[in-house]
Amino acid sequence: MHQLQAAGRAVRAMAEWAKQLAGIKGVMLDISGVLYDSGGEGGGVPIPGSIEAVEKTRLNCGCYSTHAHVDMSTAFAMIKASGLKLRFCTNETQATRGKFVAKLQRLGFNILVNEVTAPAPAACRILKERNLRPHLLVHDDLVPEFDQLDKANPNCVVIGDAADNFSYKNLNEAFRVLIGLENPILISLGRGRYYKETDGLKLDVGVYMKALEYACDVQAEVVGKPAKMFFQSALAEMEVEPQQAIMIGDDIVNDVGGAQQCGMRALQVRTGKYRPCDEQHPEVKADGYVNNLAEAVDIIVKQLHK
Amino acid sequence: MAARRVLKAVLVDLSGTLHVEDSAVPGSQEALKRLRNAPVAIRFVTNTTKESKRDLLERLKTLEFDIAEDEIFTSLTAARNLLEQKQVRPLLLVDDNALQDFRGIPTNDPNAVVVGLAPEHFNYRMMNKAFRLILDGAPLIAIHKARYYKRKDGLALGPGPFVTGLEYATDTKATVVGKPETTFFLEALSGTGCKPEETVMIGDDCRDDVGGAQNAGMLGILVKTGKYRAADEDKINPAPYLICESFPQAVDHILHHLL
């Protein structure tokens, strides 16, 4: 009886945000913590149902058959031509976008490099525009993303999720570059606090960004979620307006809060770094909370077919 | 200023006030002797993250200062007291030299985090360990929050940036135990039976020594030795009670005007 009541409440609660879905033309997905949990030997583990959920989103566009091996570029063209747009928006900076997408493909996800908005390519554009020569405090695997840039005699610091490269020595080197600049510029690829890997929660780039901000009395420029510019560029790639898009992520502040600031709707999934206290967050309230991506996509697809 | 009670206690900073590295500030051993003849309690207070009490005492003895171990109160002592008070088992991110000041404190299965200056511990693995403990409710205790310090090879990050990072990661505030925290000055007085308004503090750090002491209700005397730089006195409001060339002049002022 109690179970039935609880289930009833859940359906009603689901219905609340689902009712607001009219006009949705695009779905934006966070990757880590939504599609898969990173870490471990294979580079991560898919979250149950998420591979199928991505497929379902594509199918809903009436794009293509998922049977066997659909040619990727054809699939991409078909999605582009369809109604519901799909885009991936990540703060992943532990690998180049190309390598990252290849890993996701290996894990079984149907995803293409040019469907992904990521901080490093965005930062590269900014650095070029402003003639900045970066000192990099990033993961070794991200370095190739900056190959085209002049890095001699640096006049700014770019910090990403460097993980094990966040040693005292490396942080101190970045600090010395910054403190030695007349006009210190710190560019941070995201401002996340932590993320979940298969072996537990790990500190994210925001923590070290804050450390450098405090040490040098500077304010970092954030490239990545929750920066408005970052969401806007992802929306531009999708060719939809903010109010026509819904963001699905596991980070209440950076995914949900950031997307809402930009005028989008946003759902939080109860996977990845999600913690129950997120639902009582003092500043950010998601438009809806769902158990996982599969559930979110189920509801969206059903609602749009009504 | 409101009428003050008679002076009963003097707090003295060590590094930069009684000595600069391995040399004593000229005349300060003699000045300390003069001060000891006056009816005041004396405590030596310092923000240290690397040196244990024993290290400090050894250096002071070499420089021929007459100081007893139980007269020294350091930020490490303050951290230790707090751990005992809270009855917690710390993960100690402190320099190996400082570990002996925590001898006897259980550290198995930690449920608290203490951050001092420990470059060798500030790696990603240890920071993650500290982070997870704090997220599970362990209190974060900072010896102090200095941004950076000067090393032979140039500037180097202090504990402050790492404490700030952990605060951000866990959405908590660290309990800072060293100067300029009011509790530090009050704890240094405990055992003397004296009150803050009966106390004067002498130091070379305008914010941490003088400002901190004055915020705790004491008088603060700034000496122009150690890390003192011109116009440091403008950094705090209200201004220091007094500015002196060095420790001996501060003692003379106390003996002639405050007793």
Task: Give residue-wise pLDDT tens across range B181-228.
Answer: 999 999 999 989 999 999 999 999 999 999 999 999 999 999 999 888
Q: Please provide residue B226's backbone torsions phi and psi, each rounded to the nearest 5 degrees.
A: 60, -125
Q: In this predicted structure, what is the pLDDT of residue A16? A: 80
Q: Are B216 and B189 in contact (CB under 8 A)?
A: no
Q: What are the backbone angles phi and psi of residue A227, rounded to the nearest 5°? A: -60, 135
How many pairs of residues across A and B have Cβ atoms under 8 Å apart?
Answer: 86
Residues of chain A in contact with residue B158, where contact means CB-CB under 8 angstroms, are 215
The helix/strand/coil state of A279 is helix
Please state whether beta strands A44-46 and A36-38 pair in parallel, antiparallel, or not at all (unpaired): antiparallel
Q: From residue A225, give the alpha-carbon distance in Å to each of A6, A32, A121, A214, A232.
A: 34, 13, 14, 21, 10
The alpha carbon of residue B168 is apart from the nearest alpha carbon of chain A, in Å, by 6
Length of chain B: 259
Cβ-defined contact of A171 to B154 (cutoff 8 Å):
no
Q: How far is B251 from B259, CA to CA, in rounded Å?
A: 11
Q: Does B166 contact A207 at a Cβ distance shorter than 8 Å? A: yes
pLDDT for res B191 = 87
DSSP A59: H
Q: Which of B125, B140, B153, B157 to mutate to test the interface with A (most CBs of A within 10 A)?
A: B157
Put simply, the answer to whether B120 touches A164 (Cβ < 8 Å) is: no
**Minimum-distance CB partner of B147 among A206, A210, A215:** A215
- pLDDT given at position A279: 96
Chain B residue at shortest CA distance from A175: B157
CA-closest candidate to residue A235, choices A73, A31, A121, A85 = A85
Residue A165: list chain B partners with CB under 8 A: 124
Q: What is the reported pLDDT for A70?
A: 39
Beta-bridged to residue B202, according to DSSP, are: B12, B221
Residue in A166, A202, A214 nearest the CB of B164: A214
- Tell me the shortest Cα–Cα distance from A139 to chain B, in angstroms: 12
**DSSP designation for A145:** G
Mean pLDDT for B97-115 is: 96
Average pLDDT, chain B: 94
Interface test with A, best of B128, B149, B151 (most A CBs within 10 A): B128
State whether residue A134 is helix, strand or coil. strand
The predicted-structure confidence for B112-159, as pLDDT tens digits, reads as follows 999 999 999 999 999 999 999 999 999 999 999 988 887 778 889 999
Select the residue of B127, B158, B167 nearest A203 (Cβ to Cβ): B127
Q: What pLDDT, on a 0 to 100 scale, did the predictor assign at position B22?
A: 87
Enumerate domains of chain B plus CATH numbers.
9-47+179-258 (3.40.50.1000), 87-176 (3.40.50.1000)
Looking up tokens 């700030």, which residue turns up?
B164
> Which chain B residues have any C-beta within 8 angstroms of a chain A C-beta?
119-120, 122-125, 127-128, 131-132, 135, 147-148, 154-158, 160-162, 164-171
Q: Smallest Cβ distance to A214: which of B119, B124, B147?
A: B147
Closest Cα in chain B, distance from residue A171 (Å):
8
How close, in Å, is residue B153 to chain A by CA atoms? 11
Please tell me the distance from the alpha carbon of residue B117 to that of residue B160, in angstroms, as a whole number.
9
Instruction: Specify the higher pLDDT residue, A19 or B61.
Output: B61
Nearest CA in chain A to B130: A203
- Helix ranges (DSSP H) in chain B: 28-36, 53-62, 75-86, 124-135, 159-170, 182-189, 212-215, 247-253
Measured CA to CA, the distance from residue A14 to residue A286 in angstroms comes to 12
Please compute the mean of the pLDDT values over residues B35-45 and round it to a whole number: 97
C-alpha to C-alpha distance for A55 and A90, rounded to whole angstroms: 19
Residue pair B147/B155 in contact (Cβ under 8 Å)? The answer is no
- Rounded to 5 degrees, φ, ψ at B19 are -150, 155
> What are B171's two structure tokens?
């959405």
Residues of chain B with pLDDT > 90, as a percent, come to 86
Strands A200-203 and A194-197: antiparallel
Q: Distance between CA atoms of B66 and B73, rounded to whole angstroms?
A: 15
Q: What is the pLDDT of residues A13-57, one digit of tens each?
A: 555 888 878 888 999 999 999 999 988 777 889 998 888 888 888
CB-based contacts of A22, cutoff 8 Å, min separation 6 = none
Which among A175, A203, A213 has the least Cβ separation from residue B169? A203
ipTM, interface predicted TM-score of the complex: 0.82
Q: Dump pLDDT digits (tens) for B76-99.
A: 999 999 999 999 999 999 999 999
pLDDT digits (tens, 9 = 90+) for A243-286: 999 999 999 999 999 999 999 999 999 999 999 999 999 999 99
Give chain A's domains with CATH numbers.
Answer: 21-118+225-305 (3.40.50.1000), 119-222 (3.40.50.1000)
Cβ atoms within 10 Å, residue A68: 5
Chain B contact probe: residue of A138, A168, A186, A218 with most B CBs at under 10 A? A168
State how far residue A204 is from chain B, nearest Cα, in angstroms: 8
In 3D space, the residue among A281, A284, A239, A240 whose CA is nearest the CA of residue A266 turns out to be A284
Report in angstroms the alpha-carbon separations of B259 from A271, A296, A304, B108, B198.
68, 76, 85, 50, 10
Q: What is the mean pLDDT of residues B19-29?
A: 93
At A166 the pLDDT is: 98
Does a cis peptide bond (omega within 30 degrees of 0) precede residue B26? no
Report DSSP state, residue A68: S
Taking CB atoms and an 8 Å cutoff, what residues of chain A touch B171?
193
Instruction: Specify the residue for token string 């000595």.
Output: B19
d(CA B256, CA B116): 39
Residues B132, A201: C-beta atoms closer than 8 Å: yes
Please name the member of A202, A213, A215 whose beta carbon is closest to the beta carbon of B148.
A215
> Which stretches of chain A score pLDDT less than 70?
1-15, 60-83, 305-306
